[in-house]
Amino acid sequence: MRTILACLLVLAVSVPLSNASCFFELPKPGISDGCLDSKKELHQFGSQWRTDDCFDCYCSRDGIQCCASYGTPVGYDEEKCVRIFNKKTCSYKVVEKNDQSKECPVNQWVG
pLDDT digits (tens, 9 = 90+) for 9-51: 333 433 333 345 899 999 999 989 999 999 999 999 999 999 9
For residue range 42-86, what is the model confidence (pLDDT) as tens digits? 999 999 999 999 999 999 999 999 999 999 999 999 999 999 999
Residue 11 in domain: no
Q: Which domain holds residue 32?
A: 19-68
**How many independent structural domains does the chain possess?**
2
CA distances from 36 to 25, 29, 62 (A): 10, 10, 12
Q: How many CB atoms lie within 10 A of CB 81?
A: 20
CATH number for the domain harbouring residue 97: 2.20.25.590
CA dist., res. 35 & res. 53, Å (int): 18
CATH number for the domain harbouring residue 44: 2.10.70.10
Residue 105 in domain: yes
Nearest to 108 by CA among 65, 66, 85, 78: 78
CA 49 to chain centre: 13
For residue range 89-100, what is the model confidence (pLDDT) as tens digits? 999 999 999 999
Q: Are residues 64 and 76 in the same domain?
A: no
Residue 5 in domain: no
Residue 78 in domain: yes
Beta-bridged to residue 48, according to DSSP, are 58
CA dist., res. 56 & res. 50, Å (int): 4
Residue 105 DSSP symbol: P
pTM of the model: 0.71
